[in-house]
Amino acid sequence: LQGPKIRIAKFANKRIELKVGDRFTFSTAHPLTEGNQDIVGIDYPDLVKDCGVGDELLLDDGRVVMRVETATEDALHCSVLIGGPLSDHKGINRRGGGLTAPALTEKDKADIKLAAEMDLDYLAVSFPRDASDMQYARRLRDEAGGKAWLVAKIERAEAVADDETLDGLIAASDAVMVARGDLGVEIGDAELIAIQKKIIQHARRNNKAVIVATQMMESMIQNPMPTRAEVSDVANAVLDNTDAVMLSAESAAGAYPVEAVQAMARICLGAEKHPTSQKSSHRLHTRFERCDESIALAAMYTANHFP
């Protein structure tokens, strides 16, 4: 599901180039197709309410950064802290989160009905804040007659603000995804890896599948081989006991989609040859609710200890 990804409108000349110190305005009243070097429209009317003077806005996954200097009823007037190119429909985030857009849009609700008609297996819910968003999505799925498992894409700062919120969100989902793109923009790169490990640990504690995604092998969009850093990124996710790693633009729009999948598979197999440093011994003292849980744990211990 697309979710409430907040984006700027269009520029008359498709893109602009911003420099440090430039002044730039986001306006809910500006025509949506007539952005220029000084101003662009935005289709999220509550942005002005959600942001205040001093807040930092991150565009295009943090490649361009601005600070709000003044705010009016329908516009935010900003100064550019980190410049660069800015083109049509790029995403916008507030550092630290806090945008009040609901997790499920009208389009998402229609797509849930379509998913039920198509009998899809999984639905990924974008930008859930807490358990209530996942419970609402589940209710809509049930009303539509769907059976798809619900995957929570954890990408809002509010979702990882405290253990209670995170555990509630995981418990309300069938699986979770560490969606590192928007999550990294909201909480900052320095916090991202520790939060990734925390989400994996909490998902395993709650007996829910967990996926790590976004920019895992980003260089393979243009190159036939991954960097050593990307190899380490994928391998460390496996060693942290994630259930799945996922490609995005590498396979969706890259020049080497087959090679990217093959390389990721090789890295996963290589990492899985080494015994994990974390054991699931705590599960031995838990009463299983399903037969397949006990079978899976027995299979894991057999595989790890068979000569």
Assigned CATH class of 106-276? alpha beta
Q: Closest Cα to residue 247, out of 234, 229, 228?
A: 234
Query: pLDDT tens string for the chain (307 positions)?
Result: 999 888 999 999 999 999 999 999 999 999 999 999 999 999 888 999 999 999 999 999 889 999 999 999 999 999 999 999 999 999 999 998 888 888 899 999 999 999 999 999 999 999 999 999 999 999 999 999 999 999 999 999 999 999 999 999 999 999 999 999 999 989 999 999 999 999 999 999 998 999 999 999 999 999 999 999 999 999 999 999 999 999 999 999 999 999 999 999 999 999 998 866 455 555 565 677 778 878 888 887 787 777 6
pLDDT attached to residue 66: 98
Which CATH code of 3.65.10.10, 3.40.50.12500, 3.30.200.20, 2.40.33.10 fits the domain covering 15-94? Answer: 2.40.33.10
Q: Please state whether beta strands 15-18 and 23-27 pair in parallel, antiparallel, or not at all (unpaired).
A: unpaired
d(CA 198, CA 166): 10
Domain chopping of the chain, boundaries? 15-94, 106-276, 277-307
Helix axes 180-187, 189-205, angle to 10 degrees: 120
pLDDT attached to residue 100: 86
